[in-house]
Chains A and B, each alone.
Chain A
């Protein structure tokens, strides 16, 4: 019961209005503010809290991507993770990196690091895939507690309260396990100035997917990226009859 692996993803900041590239091949990322995925922040906070409760000895932050991914790992270190692993993926490989490849990487790392728990954000705010946690668990054949709004360690099991459509579901799963963090799991701490300074000394190991025996070739090809259609103005009507007539006219009813 010693090690927690936390995945952190560098994404375009939530407050930025994203623009599509003129060639429709993707979105503009150059010169745009990036930060740690908000759900990943919640995952880091949970992992650090578990360590502070002395339930785990070490928290390892992992990020897959180009050199800038280390900035995100540094933020995780400043929040209290002990060390980081940067899995370097650059250029076209990075553009096509998706949940399947990332989950293969996490599965390999979870085994290599002998992690008892892998905590991820439930989804990334750029692609909203909501797949990496689930796929990682499947590849490892580990139980999963997704959309967690509460996590409690009970011996060698994890009790997870999940936010589902119908309300809240409580499950108990054996460790090792994968948990994905939902919004209400916790409120992430601010990094403190001393912790940011301490984080400078913490180690970030560098490796490539090939070092883990992972093939990151994508099975998906992005054909085109477009903005959603501009929202049209509505029409005001005077009476209910007018409304029904308009709805019939537009084929809605």
Chain B
């Protein structure tokens, strides 16, 4: 087998694997990774994908290392993305969203993630919160919050996890006591993406009794007295988004900020997460796509034992395997997206399966790509390690791949 290379160094857009005829007559097959990712998409979806790939290559790839190293929350870049419609991709147009489908969204996040997985993951969280307000909010709430979230004039955070409740989300203890026309919030949320730098907090809190049925969802705005933040966490990856604890101390939130009914909060949270899981899986896909390209590039350049690594059969097989798992992962994510947008009965399980399978497989692909870089893969001068670090957390959040539930 011979591995051939295509594309410039750096911003490569294509991987081609050639399996030539051997004496065992394996037929000639050429796979172009970027063309592959466009297969089965409509003309519009290909256009969306093209814009997202271009944006990623021009506005994100050149900066992802700096954002990671200096822990920069790239507000201006995200606002540029919002100008293209990426701030509320599946939010209704009448409140400023792009009104696209879940599959459209997955395609977009997958492409954007090739530029910076961490920033794209935050953009997807922002989108999820925006959608929750758009879907469960009344007209006043939607008109108040969604337009500014769609333009990313304001940023959003999703607040469910607490120090004492991760996988066991329904056991959360942040309370919201009704007093007149306000809820008084007390408690704290942990690991909140964007926390402290964002403006709109979608918070799940306990208004009623124990369990899921006692949970409501309220929108808390930055600057509300009683709302404060913990220190910025130091993370292995996702460094282009700040992560902080969000603390409520007698924080007064108007009842008019409650989304939906009392007791509906847990359902709202979980339904947001269905889409969130597809989005996170899509981010993992993009990272894996980028890493397969990076690995391919490296194999063509690095020489050992008198020839380029690309002539090494083990590495050829490995790369082909990685490409195969990438395509398989993509198919599962896109099927889950279709199921969700069509309201199929298997949508929830598919979303969870997609998240589980894809985040695991794609992490392995990225990790394998790092391995193929040898010692260089461990250096921060090479992008592959950032993708590995950034998507490692996708196996943990938005539904732990290895939950401890009984």
Contacts and interface: CB of A to CB of B under 8 A. Distances in A.
Interface of A: 13, 15-17, 19, 31-33, 35, 71, 74-75, 78, 190-194, 196-197, 199-200
Q: Report, nearest first, the 9 A-B pairs whose CB atoms are least far apart.
A: A193-B85, A17-B6, A193-B98, A15-B13, A196-B47, A192-B84, A192-B85, A190-B51, A191-B51
Given A190-B84, A191-B84, 17 more contacts: A13-B14, A15-B8, A15-B11, A31-B32, A32-B32, A33-B13, A33-B35, A35-B50, A71-B46, A190-B55, A192-B51, A192-B83, A193-B85, A194-B98, A197-B44, A197-B98, A197-B100
A190 B55 CA distance: 8
A19 B14 CA distance: 13
Given A16-B7, A33-B32, A75-B50, A193 B13 contact: no
B47 A75 contact: yes
A181 B2 CA distance: 41
B86 A193 contact: yes
A200 B44 contact: yes
30 contacts: A15-B12, A15-B14, A16-B7, A17-B7, A17-B14, A31-B30, A31-B32, A32-B14, A33-B13, A33-B14, A33-B34, A33-B35, A71-B46, A74-B43, A78-B47, A190-B55, A190-B84, A191-B51, A192-B51, A192-B84, A193-B48, A193-B51, A193-B85, A193-B98, A194-B85, A194-B98, A196-B44, A197-B98, A197-B99, A199-B47
A191 B44 CA distance: 11
**How extensive is the interface on chain B, given as a class?**
20 to 34
Interface of B: 5-8, 11-14, 30, 32, 34-35, 43-44, 46-48, 50-51, 54-55, 83-86, 89, 93, 98-100
Nearest to B45: A196
Given A32-B35, A33-B14, A33-B32, A193 B43 contact: no
Nearest to A196: B47
Nearest to B55: A190
Given A15-B14, A197-B44, A200-B44, A190 B6 contact: no
Contacts of A17: 5-7, 14
Contacts of B12: 15
B158 to A, nearest CB: 22
Nearest to A17: B6
Nearest to B93: A194
A67 to B, nearest CB: 11
B100 A193 contact: yes
B47 A74 contact: yes
Nearest to B58: A190
A17 B8 CA distance: 8
A193 B89 contact: yes
A123 to B, nearest CB: 20
Nearest to B10: A15
A200 B46 CA distance: 13
A75 B54 CA distance: 13
Contact of A31 (B7, B35, B43, B51): B35
B4 to A, nearest CB: 8
Contacts of A194: 85, 93, 98
A184 B348 CA distance: 50
B54 A190 contact: yes
Nearest to A199: B47
Nearest to B18: A19
Contacts of A196: 44, 47-48, 51
Given A31-B32, A32-B35, A191 B13 contact: no
A78 B86 CA distance: 16
Contacts of B35: 31-33
A114 B46 CA distance: 33
Nearest to B100: A193
A192 B44 CA distance: 12
Contacts of A193: 48, 51, 84-86, 89, 98, 100
Contacts of B30: 31
A16 B54 contact: no
A211 B46 CA distance: 31
Interface centre among A17, A71, A193, A199 (most CB of B within 10 A): A193
A175 B51 CA distance: 34
Nearest to B47: A196
Contacts of B34: 33
A193 to B, nearest CB: 3
B258 to A, nearest CB: 31
A35 to B, nearest CB: 7
Contacts of B46: 71
Interface centre among B30, B89, B93 (most CB of A within 10 A): B30
Contacts of A15: 7-8, 11-14
Contacts of A16: 6-7, 13-14
B308 to A, nearest CB: 15
Contacts of B98: 193-194, 197
A203 B54 CA distance: 25
Contacts of A191: 47, 50-51, 84
A93 B46 CA distance: 27
Nearest to A188: B54
Contacts of B86: 193
A15 B55 CA distance: 15
Nearest to B88: A193
A31 B29 CA distance: 11
Contacts of A32: 14, 32, 35
Contacts of B99: 197
A75 B51 CA distance: 10
B383 to A, nearest CB: 16
Contact of B13 (A13, A71, A190, A200): A13
Contacts of B5: 17
A60 B35 CA distance: 28
A16 B7 CA distance: 5
